[in-house]
Each structure stands twice: as C-alpha cells, then as structure tokens.
Chain A
Amino acid sequence: EVQLVESGGGLVQPGGSLRLSCAASGFIFNNYWMHWVRQGPGKGLVWVSRINSDGSSTNYADSVKGRFTISRDNAKNTLYLQMNSLRAEDTAVYYCVRVLGGSSSISPLGYWGQGTLVTVSS
C-alpha cells in the first residue's frame, strides 16, 4: 500500500524558514516523480513544485520560485520542501503527492499524503 506521511509543519513568523518532509513507503520511491501541492484555508488546490525520480530536474510555481527548494533522498525514501522567506500567503496545508505512473513527467497526481499545516503569522 502506498503511504505518504508529511511532517515539519507548524507556526513560523514572516520571513522565517521551515523544512517539510514526506516519508514514502509501499512503492519503489526512486521510480517516481514527486510533487508538493498546497491548499490555503478554505481555498482550492495549488501546485507548488515537482522533482524527477533521481532529483536532477525540478520545477516551481512562480509564487515560490527562489524561496522554496524541493529535494529528495532516495536512500531514505524521503521528499523535502525547504521553505525560506515565508509570507502570510504561504499559509496552507501542504500535500506530498506521488504521480500515478512512474517515469513520465506527464502523469496525474495519483497518491496524496494527509498534509501538514504551515501557518505563517507573527
């Protein structure tokens, strides 16, 4: 069974930093593209970032480019999101997501973690 468990969320002041982690199990982690998607309180879904299976290719939404960094440790089956220079508008539940198919960058978001809440407030 595919399992994705996020951690690392919490309350942080504007301008601060936070690193989210996502522990993956139940599948061969290094075969799949992985994504982060966020959802503000009472709002819709917003794609944040993606990384390919070996970590050599990454993409970001314009709203987080230059502030967030996605990475992965395939030996630890773990996905990360380093978030710097946080703003109030980054407040959201952050979901770790595995694509449905493995090697293609074009594959729907097949498996979702339960999310971790990040609150940016003074």
Chain B
Amino acid sequence: EIVLTQSPGTLSLSPGERATLSCRASQSVSSSYLAWYQQKPGQAPRLLIYGASSRATGIPDRFSGSGSGTDFTLTISRLEPEDCAVYYCQQYGSSLPWTFGQGTKVEIK
C-alpha cells in the first residue's frame, strides 16, 4: 500500500498570500497518477488537480500542481477567502488500494 503523508497539517495565511502544500509518497507514484481534492465543511470533495499538474474543468488558475515520483506539491498562488478548506492528495495508479493523504487544512487569517 502506498502511504501518502501531507504537510503541514494546518496552514494559516492571509488573503493574497501563497500557499504551498506538500504530499510525499512512501513509494513512487506511477506515471504521476496523483490527484488533489478540495473539501469545504459540509460538502463533498471536489477534484482540483489530476496527473499531478492538470487542472480539472472550472478550477481557477491560481491552483497549480507539480511534482513526480514521491514528492508532489499543490500551490495556491493568491489565497482567496473561499479557499478555506481541507485539501487531500490521492494516488490512483494501478496499485490498489487507492490511498489518500491525511489532509492539510488551509485557514484564512
């Protein structure tokens, strides 16, 4: 099983600041089958990024993903108040089970 470890646990930043979220895998994620999801309180998760760096339909370009192998990053270039949420990384390669990181909570000061 591929274990995904996200850091930090909580990120507290002001509007307009840059947020950098990390996701580290216990073994290489094949072909960058790494996705990021956003979950706001009381809502279902929403796909943000897939293939490590491709934005899903309708996702603002302030969200970007990068990385390969075992180290991946989600960057929010200029935080907006509506970006307050928990962000999860997930690997969806050929290796089962599919696994999620434990989440990073982004708070807006």
Given contacts A106-B93, A109-B37, contact A47 B100 (CB under 8 A): yes
Instruction: Give Cα A112 to B88, complex, Å.
Output: 14
Interface size on B, residues (CB 8 A): 25
Instruction: Give Cα A115 to B101, complex, Å.
Output: 20
Residues of B within 8 A of A18 (CB): none
Please state if A108 and B44 are interface contacts (CB–CB under 8 Å).
no
Residues of A within 8 A of B66 (CB): none
CB distance from B15 to the nearest CB of A (A): 26
Q: Among A46, A108, A112, A113, find the residue whose CB has the most chain B CB atoms closer than 10 A.
A: A108
Cβ-closest chain A residue relative to B42: A114
Binding site for A on B (CB under 8 A): 33, 35, 37, 39, 43-47, 50-51, 56, 88, 90, 92-94, 96-103
Binding site for B on A (CB under 8 A): 44-47, 50, 59, 61-62, 95, 100, 105-115
